[in-house]
Amino acid sequence: MPGVFDRLDKEIKDKQKEGGITPLDLAELPPALRKIMRLMLRELQMNYPRLCEVMDAIPESDRLSRDELQEALTTLTQQQWLNRIGEGEKAIYKVNLRRREGSKLAAGIWSALDAKLKKNPSDT
């Protein structure tokens, strides 16, 4: 019978396989979400109280209210930018960076060139 830790470990591993982001995607985020992601990228994992501490240390003009922070965290979690483990004050947020796939462009270019050369060998 699997225990609590086994279930949590499986949940973490399942969430790490899903979606994710690349750092280049940050430029497309709205300013509030981008602020949170920049903070998260510095530590990669933070619990909710630590996020609140960090947010309070930001200059007041750039600071998000608790409601705005919670809304932004919910949005980032739904869009799989962050993984959330737990709920409420005990929630831990982790950055979800996706693995880079190998380029498929190069193979397509070379096969297209090969096909073109095989069709018209007299033109070269």
Domain annotation for the chain: domains and CATH numbers: 4-123 (1.10.10.10)
61-118 residue pLDDT tens: 889 999 999 999 999 998 888 999 988 888 999 988 765 444 455 556 667 777 777 7
SS (H, E, C) the chain: CCCHHHHHHHHHHHHHHCCCECHHHHHHCCHHHHHHHHHHHHHCEEEHHHHHHHHHHCCCCCCCCHHHHHHHHHHHHHCCCEEEECCHHHCEEEECECCCCCCCHHHHHHHHHHHHHHHCHHHC
User: The pTM is what?
Assistant: 0.60
Asked if residue 118 lies in contact with residue 42, where contact means CB atoms within 8 angstroms, the answer is no
